[in-house]
Chains A and B, each alone.
Chain A
Amino acid sequence: MNGIRRSVWMGVLAPIALLTLMAVWAAPLLWAAITSLKPELQAAAQPIVWLPHPATLESFRSVLTTGNLPNWYLNSVISSVIITVVTLILSAAAAYAFSQLHFPGRNLLFWFSLVGFMLPFEALLVPLYRLMNNLHTINTLAGIILPQLVSPIAIFVFRQFFDQIPKEFREAAVMDGATELRIMRSVFVPLSANIIWALAIVTFIGAWNNFLWPFIVTNSPEQMTIPVGLTQVQSAYGLHYAQTMAVAILSGLPVILAYLLFQRRVTEGFLSASGLKG
């Protein structure tokens, strides 16, 4: 790329275009941050006040101490962590069986497990709601969590990864008398630490951000997760724009931090989940 970068296009126009687009993409988030730091009256002032003076954390203080935000946070943290851990365990176990064990109907069962790829979750909302109603799990964490534990993509990625591990690893352990569960735990899982972390972060972000299902299964404000709770913000905090933006920032912060801290792994995770990289 070195030589090309020297040309006029690459040297002048591209950086200008890049900086402009970066500004466009960052601007809404910056404006939200600026608004959240304003005293409430300034946020809605006309003519517009561009910078907060004085900058204040008052909006953050009040949304964290009144209303349901702490509840939503707790629900989101609990459900996302459980979903991530359980999904990875279920998927890794199933993928191990599909990859390393030999039993009649293995391939058929594997493809059957991947049919989930083809089924749009959206088409299942009504029966899932009825099922949850019958199980008395509407407005509960269990109701939020249960349908989110299946991830055909995770099984697919894990199996691809396990398939690449030399057969001798398992065979040697079998000779030594180790059980399959033990082999999986102490040979396959440590070897797949990278892909597990990548999938864990991606699953966590997905669970944290999931809107549709928690939105369907919860209607009492205390039981909502953050993305669903935000639909209540206008009624909960009224037309308080600084507070609304403070809530938006606080809700996005955990996933933004997760991304910035683990940028490489997140990228890797999203790419393997899209099937482009194994």
Chain B
Amino acid sequence: MTVARTSKQVKVRKSAPTVWGPVILLLLPFLAVYLLFFIWPALQTIALSFTNSGLTQTGKFVGMANFKTLIGDASFWDSLKHTAYFAVLTVIPLTAIGMVLALLTVSGGRLRRIAQAVFFIPYVLPVSVATLIWQWVLNPNLGVINAATGSQTAWFSDPNLAMPAVAAVTVWWTVGFNMLLFLAGLQNISRETYEAAELDGASGLDVFRYITWPALWPTTALVMTLQLVGSFKIFSQVYLLTGGGPFDSTRVVLEYMYDTAFTNTDAGYASAIAVAFFVAILLLTLIQTRLLNRRET
């Protein structure tokens, strides 16, 4: 390709009128699906939240009534508390354990590949496979954990243990992804940095404190914020392991929304919950974007 040809092309492109045919052909399929199955439902969620609609029937406009009920609804605030409790139980453990697994994996020598696979495989399993296996492992009477420890603990039906148990299953199931992010972060630290530190006589702890930890900090911040947003979207594990029980002690926001919409068929109120949920996620995402942008500058 000659220079003359390239510069001529640039001129042609700048002055050429838009050719709409290819644009429409390439964008329309995506936009049609996107508008119909994403944007339209999003607008509908807002619209429904101002009505008393049932699951399939459209009801009457009721103004702010659903939101007024929501503010005074103890079950809703409880579900937010349960969600926050789940976040407390998972965000830091998932971040810390992810980092530890990554650090151990890179130092594993010949074990490295197999270690990475062992920790990551649970993450590629469907949620219901993970919960089915753990329900069996933690079965009160026949489960291997209780049998090995001689206990009778009913892990998922004790109000004090149910949420920690759900959190533990979640850590086992998803931490492999965080490990992957930390492994990618570790790759950015050069071997020379470590070698220089060693020549200076730095101890393993010093190396971690002054080299690894600062270098991994951007990844740590990313993982924690991803995890925070993710923890607010918790539903499937809770639904499958405890169904929100015992005594609603694990009923998180989405479980409450699901129950309201699909069990009580109160789509209007469920949509109000969805809007509140969306606002919460939006706030968390904005905080996340802020933190991540700061990281890049």
Complex Cα spacing A168 to B5, Å: 10
CB-nearest residue of chain A to B268: A126
B101 at the interface (CB under 8 A from A): yes
Known: A10-B107, A180-B26. A124 touches B117 (CB 8 A): no
Q: Is the CB of B172 within 8 A of A25?
A: yes
The yes or no answer to A193 lying at the interface (CB within 8 A) is no
Chain A residues with CB under 8 Å of B132's CB are 230, 233, 244-245, 247-248
* Chain A 1-43 residues near chain B, CB threshold 8 A: 1-5, 7, 9-10, 14-15, 17-19, 21-22, 25-26, 28-29, 31-32, 35
Chain B residues within an 8 Å CB radius of A127: 40-42, 44-45, 48, 271
What are the residues of chain B within 8 A of A28 when measuring CB–CB?
133-134, 137, 172
In residues 226-245 of chain B, which contact A (Cβ within 8 Å)? 226, 233, 235-236, 240
Q: Does A133 contact B (CB under 8 A)?
A: yes
B184 at the interface (CB under 8 A from A): yes
A192 within 8 A of B: no
Identify the closest chain A residue to B105 (Cβ).
A18
B210 interface hit (Cβ, 8 Å):
no
Q: Which of B1-48 contact A (CB under 8 A)?
A: 1, 5-6, 9, 13, 18-20, 22-23, 25-27, 29-31, 33-34, 36-42, 44-45, 48
0/1 interface trace, chain B 126-141, chain A, CB 8 Å (1 if under): 1111001110110001
A185–B111 CA distance with the chains assembled, in angstroms: 41
- B13 proximity list for chain A (CB < 8 A): 102, 171
Of B66-74, B85-93, B151-159, B278-286, the stretch lying at the interface with chain A is B278-286
The distance from the CB of B126 to the nearest CB of chain A, in whole angstroms, is: 4
Interface string of A128-159 (1 = CB under 8 A from B): 11110100000000000011011000010000
| Chain B, interface residues (CB within 8 Å), range | 35 or more
Task: Kindly state whether residue B125 has any CB partner on chain A within 8 Å.
Answer: yes
- Report 12 cross-chain contacts, Cβ distance below 8 Å, ordered by A residue: A21-B101, A90-B30, A93-B29, A93-B30, A94-B26, A123-B274, A124-B38, A215-B236, A259-B120, A260-B117, A263-B117, A270-B177
A34-B27 Cα distance, complex, nearest whole Å: 51
| CB neighbours of B198 from chain A (8 A) | 3-4
Task: In the A-B complex, list the 3 residue pairs whose CB atoms are closest, starting with the nearest.
Answer: A127-B44, A180-B22, A227-B126
Instruction: From A9, A124, A181, A212, name the one whose CB has the most chain B CB atoms within 10 angstroms.
Output: A124
CB distance from B6 to the nearest CB of A (A): 6
Return chain A residues, CB-CB under 8 Å to B99.
none
Q: Does B261 contact A (CB under 8 A)?
A: yes
- Are the CB atoms of A124 and B41 closer together than 8 Å? yes
Contacts of B222 in A (CB 8 A): 276
Say yes or no: B111 contacts A15, CB within 8 Å.
Answer: yes
CB-CB under 8 A from A231, the residues of chain B are 128, 240
On whether the beta carbons of B262 and A216 are closer than 8 Å, the reply is: yes
Cβ of B119: which chain A residues have Cβ within 8 Å of it? 21-22, 25
Task: Count residues of chain A with CB under 8 A from any CB of chain B.
Answer: 102
* Closest CB in chain A relative to B203 CB, distance in Å: 8
Report which of A7, A46, A124, A251 forms a contact with B142, defined as CB distance below 8 A.
A46
With A209-B124, A248-B129 known as contacts, the answer to whether A241 contacts B34 (CB < 8 A) is no
- The answer, yes or no, to whether B76 is at the interface (CB within 8 Å) is no
Q: List 7 other contacts, CB 8 Å, given A103-B18, A181-B22, A248-B129.
A: A113-B30, A126-B270, A126-B274, A209-B124, A211-B127, A251-B129, A274-B181
Cβ contact within 8 Å between A122 and B233: yes
Q: Does A67 contact B (CB under 8 A)?
A: no
Look across to chain A and name the residue whose beta carbon is closest to the beta carbon of B185.
A276
CB–CB A4/B177 < 8 A: no
Whether A126 pairs with B172 at a CB distance below 8 angstroms is no
B275/A129 in contact, CB under 8 A:
no
Is there contact, CB below 8 Å, between B267 and A118? no
CB neighbours (8 Å) of A125 from chain B are 257-258, 261, 274
CB–CB B6/A168 < 8 A:
yes
Per-residue B-contact encoding for A218-256, CB less than 8 Å = 1, 0 else: 000000001110110100000001001101100110011
